[in-house]
Amino acid sequence: MILGLDISTSITGATVLDKNGKVVFCEAWDTRKYKSTFIKADTLRSYLKELKNRYDIENIYVEQSLQMFRSGFSSAKTLSTLARFNGIVSWLCYEIFNITPEYIAAMTARKANEIVIPRGTPAKTVVLEYIEKTVPGFKYELTKAGNPKPGTYDRADSIVIAKAGHKNLTSSS
């Protein structure tokens, strides 16, 4: 089985695929209420241990943290915090599952899933539409304003990462 993770200090998306690439688990783990990075990480450790007890995870794929600045987006401090947290959770995966996670850039994962983002269109919206069309049973709720509730995009991104990892495994076999 494959574990795909979209790691964030606020909400982490986690997906488990069976050997055929079918989604058997998909959740968003909300750690926004915790201020400490260490408490956030310890919370994710608990979730990861639950997955270890439920599923025979053989491969772990993690969305690679952002590597460069883009004006109007994340600051150096934010990029540094995300990279550090990504490293902590990656280490937890290694410690818990005894598996070295593999990293996949978001663009590479989308390309592996044949998701094309039209210029000027938010990637998250296109990814969510793709997941709705291709993943049976993927459900989510909307806020009063009509937007997907927090965690929806993280779940969708974790599916894209897991499915890209699955394609990587099946093409190399």
Percent of the chain whose pLDDT exceeds 90: 61
Separation of alpha carbons 45 and 58, rounded Å: 18
**DSSP letter assigned to residue 142:** B
**Containing structural domain, residue 88:** 2-172
What pLDDT sits at residue 68?
Answer: 47
Mean pLDDT for the chain overall: 88
149 exposed, middle or buried (CB, 10 Å; 0-12, 13-18, 19+)? exposed
**Mean pLDDT (whole number) for 136-155:** 91
- The yes-or-no verdict on residue 131 having pLDDT over 60 is yes
Separation of alpha carbons 76 and 89, rounded Å: 20
**Hey, what are 97's tokens?**
């599952």
Question: How many domains, the chain?
Answer: 1
Determine the length of the chain: 173
What pLDDT sits at residue 162?
Answer: 96
CATH code for the domain of 27 = 3.30.420.10
Q: Note the maximum CA span of the chain.
A: 46
**Mean pLDDT (whole number) for 22-43:** 93
At 59-106, the pLDDT tens digits run 999 998 654 444 444 566 666 777 788 888 999 999 999 999 999 988
What pLDDT sits at residue 12?
Answer: 94
At 105-128, the pLDDT tens digits run 888 999 999 898 888 888 888 999
